[in-house]
Structure 1
Amino acid sequence: MKILVPVKRVVDFNVKVRVKSDGTGVDIANLKMSMNPFDEIAIEEAVRLKEADGASEVVAVSCGSAACQETLRAALAIGADRGILIETDGELQPLAVAKLLKALCVKETPQLVICGKQAVDDDANQTGQMLAALMGWSQATFASKLVVGDGRATVTREIDGGLETLDINLPGVVTTDLRLNEPRYATLPNIMKAKKKPLEIVKPSDLGVDVAPRLTTLKVAEPIKRSAGVRVADVAQLVDKLKNEAKVI
């Protein structure tokens, strides 16, 4: 079974980002970049399936600039067998990424796509679902446990009321949640081996996909800073403030 894992290069989650002065986007100049944390979990799960003889090959794919090769090499160091970079210029929206992944799925014919539930830069949580819809495949989102065998995948996901178990046919798309696993650290020998693993570079035109944006960002602004809290003497004063100042009751 071949597993395809999309990985995204994002600003490191420990870095505090700032909005550009003109409000056109986020300033990422000279910031530390890394693999999207949810995608790390996806790569780790795919590699674990391969180590348990549940998969024959793990293919990591990234869409973006040439700098995404670094992210793919990180995925290869974790244990992916080969990487594919769909090299593009400019920002890609979730639908464009889903279309690129669809074209790649048609070419590579994986039985399972494991991707992070969302990227920490835009928090869109759309690509996996869009890919499943475009391919007409089964999907299971927010996986906290994944078991694959006999052409099926059993996915446990956390919901408000507890746990929900889904049983889907393969091929399918699974998106990962935080509790699925703890990604391993890439060892130095594996980092060196990753430099020799195959990494293919293709263009959207090679896949016959138009990645022109469908949406226009009008303005990006930082969240409004929360005002300081106040202490109240008793419940009566609290109710009065909620009613007359906050106007929530």
Structure 2
Amino acid sequence: MSFLPEWIFVEAVIMRYDTRLGKYGGKPRPGGPRSTLCISSQVGCKMGCKFCATGSMGFKSNLSSGEIVEQLVHASHFSQIRNVVFMGMGEPLNNYSALVEAIHIMQGSPFQLSPKKITISTVGIIHAINKLQSDLPNLNLAVSLHAPVQDIRCQIMPAARAFPLEKLMDALQTYQTNSGQKIFIEYIMLDEVNDEEQHAHQLGKLLETFQVVRSIFQITACRNSASSCFCYEV
């Protein structure tokens, strides 16, 4: 948790891993300990996703680029940060100018973070995705999909009404073609909402032309949510 002026709280979480754990190809994995910092871009959020605690508090304010970078500065006192993910409070692409400026600072001295070590997670702000590759080339893009069809997506993510799924997928296809990068797909399984066999088939069809990263994302259940959540690997 980070503290900003006027006693405003934002989420900043250090996640520690050891890449040597387990085996790869029958041999011990190379590497060693690493830390990923999950940081916030806003106080609250306008998106109102039904499964998200931040969405239930509404939007309070954007963070400045300095306040975004301050989270990394603070975390660096406790751990050597190797990766940064914008998966904390807020929709990063709704605070675009501050986001771009903050990431440019992170890529410079003293942090020297490679673009490949930075991930932006978004509900799918199409107009921002369309200019992301030119403004922030070679970063990782993660998309909170959570449903394979528009009506279900609108049910659990009200902001999706402004960003039709068909147009979002077109924007992602263009982004992937221009960047040559895989895209992270985030999908929360909600009981009797988006977890049936037909949804799996629809999801496969939706993503059949994409190169996506297979990842499991840990989700903290929101007390205000009527649905139970667990992780799904895409």
Q: Normalized per residue, which structure has more helix?
A: 2
Report which structure shows greater RCO (CA 8 Å, sep ≥6). 1
Do Structure 1 and Structure 2 share a fold, with TM-score over 0.5? no
TM-score for the superposition, normalised by structure 1: 0.26
TM-score for the superposition, normalised by structure 2: 0.28
Q: Normalized per residue, which structure has more strand?
A: 1
